Structure 1
Amino acid sequence: MTGLAKPQGVKRMQVVIHAGAAFTDDGRLLGSLLANKAALAQSRSLPLGPRHSRQFVKVMSDSVIKDVPVDDAQEDLREIFPEDLNAERLIISSDKFFGPRRTALQHGQIYPFAAKRTAYSEKLLEGAQLELFVGLVNPGSFIPKILMSLHEDQRESILGSTDLSCLSWLNMIDDLGDLAPGVKLTLWENEDTPLIWGDIVRAMAGLADDVALKDEYALLLSLLTGTGKTQLLELIQQGTAKDRQSLRDSLAGIFEDHAQPEQIEEELDLPGWNSDIVSAFSELYEQDLAKIHTMPNVRVLHP
């Protein structure tokens, strides 16, 4: 499309899509990107606001469902990608990119339409290098939260047609590799997000590791007790950590010792969903993560 086109010999436009998953960040990552627009501008990165992000997903989704020709769909995106776009890296954030929540658990898979929608987006963003960022979640908590967010009829339909015990992230990741092999994939465990918030933002924006960010530790602070907040602020202000790994280890220690239980423990209200089920999914989740860490074309952010 013209808005993303680059003359021959000029660096390709990069488009980053943060696709959730659902319930992982409540729009906070996009808020952090927008709050750091000045730093992002230095690397010619531009985060689109919530309205334009939603508009992109709507055009893409409607086009996939209705089998709209790519050229026609590109015309609908010109308001989002203007001709005089002064950026080399666009960032779009929407937890509906892989599909609405009612489709998140279907056909024996988590986000079964993720790869098809990503592959179509690659065509839609013709000439651009597409990158996909996803925070993975323990299916033991993700599945009941998705189901309880749906209308009762939709929930019963999924429960009656889907073997929940077979659901994992691996099929989605494999499908992405098959249908959209040119798309760069960056993953992380949502459970680690408070400890690697700055890394996620910098990776999305293409910023160097040493670029300072506003409110980099705001999420972590919000989860800590008063004692934990004091220790974290002292650590940051004094700069006593010798290197990044030392800092990360200190952050992890503070989080482990001083997290507020009510902030990190989730209520799972799905009838019949108990701690034994969550434990079984947690074990499978750890096994899947071990496999994901060995995948050659996947970048995993971790503490």
Structure 2
Amino acid sequence: MEIALHLGVHLTDNDQLVRCLMRNRGLLAQQGIAVPPTGSYRMQLRQLSHDMADQTTDAETQEALLDGLLEADDVRRVVFSSEYLLATHQWIVVNDQFYPNAGKHLAQAVHLFPEAEVCVYLALRNPAHFLPALIKDERSGGAATVLKNSDPLNLRWSEMLLRMHDAAPDVPITLWCEEDTPLLWPEILQKVSGHAPETELEGWFAWYWEMMTPKTHEAMRRYFNRNPVVDAAHRRRILGAMLEKFARPEARPEAGAIDAPLPGWSGEYIDVLTELYQQDLDLISAIPGVTLLEP
């Protein structure tokens, strides 16, 4: 049994991944892949992982949990998607750390599935854009609640990932950058669900809807329906060309100016944050057990 945990991060997905997989539940079930409805497990997994942290879990514990969520018996892989397993909005940034309890919460989630191969999937986002978006989100409680005396210049995704690796060293982590998602979207879906690479998921084009006009979105969908891709690299090249030609510039991830930069954030400061993020990605690539998907 494989357990795929898609854990966000916050403000990178808006449930588009799990909605696409849910739309293809029948097709994925034929390959032994289960995608339970999010309402059936999000709060349950969070609460159970906390409650069971100091208790022994075994094959029976795992089976009892999954029996309540799965409709079929011949399941080889289960996909769960919940950013709240790592933190709620108010506890994403604390004391110069992203997701300070990420390691503990990951270990608790893995503890629920002692007989399974657990793997984690995450999108990362440039802090120069992530922090203003988080502060703007009404669920976060504003700048004072979000930053909690943290200095944005000290925040590193690599530090969070090292804590996660230390807490669950046998759990592989697959990452991608939010700004690369347009070129990687079909590959991301395949990595998380584990479906056969040649399988075409219905509705994967929906992710691009807000980036284009209805006319150009339909043209893109029609092109891919009529012209099967050779491989992932071929599809990335086609997507790149289409996005360059058809996508509205302001709709691209991290494109244009930040909606609401924080007080004191000059253009130079934002450039520094972005450069630190790029340097951090180089460190992330060297973390054991971590795979960074790149175009």
Structure 1 Cα separation of the partners of residues 71 and 193 of structure 2: 20
Structure 2 Cα separation of the partners of residues 214 and 115 of structure 1: 35
Correspondence for 2:85: 97
Give per-residue Cα distances to partners, 1:268-294, cap 9 Å, x unaligned: 353333433322221111112223234
Correspondence for 1:301: 293
In structure 2, the CA distance between the partners of 1:77 and 1:262, relative to structure 1 (3 Å rule), is: farther
Correspondence for 1:108: 96
Structure 2 Cα separation of the partners of residues 259 and 275 of structure 1: 25
| Total equivalences in the alignment | 286
Correspondence for 2:282: 290
Contact 2:62 2:115 in 1 (8 A): no
Structure 2 Cα separation of the partners of residues 34 and 164 of structure 1: 36
Give per-residue Cα distances to partners, 1:6-48, cap 9 Å, x unaligned: xxxxxxx111110001011111111011111122112211112
Give per-residue Cα distances to partners, 1:218-243, cap 9 Å, x unaligned: 21243124674365345314417554
Correspondence for 1:206: 194
Correspondence for 1:271: 263
* Root mean square deviation, CA, Å: 2.8
In structure 2, the CA distance between the partners of 1:270 and 1:27, relative to structure 1 (3 Å rule), is: same
Q: Does 1:126 align with 2:114?
A: yes
Correspondences of 1:228-243 after superposition (within 5 Å): 228-229=216-217, 232-233=220-221, 235-239=223-227, 243=231
Contact 2:124 2:178 in 1 (8 A): yes
Tell me the SS of whatever aligns to 1:300.
strand
Correspondence for 1:32: 20
Aligned amino acid, residue 279 of structure 1? D
Tell me the SS of whatever aligns to 1:161.
coil
In structure 2, the CA distance between the partners of 1:173 and 1:276, relative to structure 1 (3 Å rule), is: same
Aligned amino acid, residue 57 of structure 1? L
TM-score (ref. length: structure 1): 0.83
- Which of 235, 260, 263 in structure 2 is aligned with 1:247? 235
Correspondence for 1:142: 130
Contact 1:21 1:135 in 2 (8 A): yes
Structure 2 Cα separation of the partners of residues 215 and 84 of structure 1: 23
In structure 2, the CA distance between the partners of 1:246 and 1:107, relative to structure 1 (3 Å rule), is: same
Give the unaligned 5+ runs of structure 1: 1-12
Structure 2 Cα separation of the partners of residues 39 and 271 of structure 1: 49
Give the unaligned 5+ runs of structure 2: none
Tell me the SS of whatever aligns to 1:173.
helix
Offset of residue 71 of structure 1:
5.1
Tell me the SS of whatever aligns to 1:165.
helix
- Which of 126, 141, 149 in structure 2 is aligned with 1:151? 141
Contact 1:46 1:91 in 2 (8 A): yes
Offset of residue 186 of structure 1:
0.8
Structure 1 Cα separation of the partners of residues 67 and 17 of structure 2: 21
Aligned amino acid, residue 151 of structure 1? G
Tell me the SS of whatever aligns to 2:204.
coil
Segment of structure 1 superposing worse, 283-292 or 98-107: 283-292
Correspondence for 2:178: 190
Tell me the SS of whatever aligns to 2:175.
strand
- Which of 246, 249, 271 in structure 2 is aligned with 1:258? 246
Segment of structure 1 superposing worse, 284-293 or 184-193: 284-293
Tell me the SS of whatever aligns to 1:188.
strand
In structure 2, the CA distance between the partners of 1:210 and 1:168, relative to structure 1 (3 Å rule), is: same
- Which of 57, 66, 71 in structure 1 is aligned with 2:45? 57
Correspondence for 1:7: none
In structure 2, the CA distance between the partners of 1:172 and 1:245, relative to structure 1 (3 Å rule), is: same
Segment of structure 1 superposing worse, 117-126 or 250-259: 250-259
In structure 2, the CA distance between the partners of 1:181 and 1:237, relative to structure 1 (3 Å rule), is: same
Structure 1 Cα separation of the partners of residues 121 and 171 of structure 2: 10
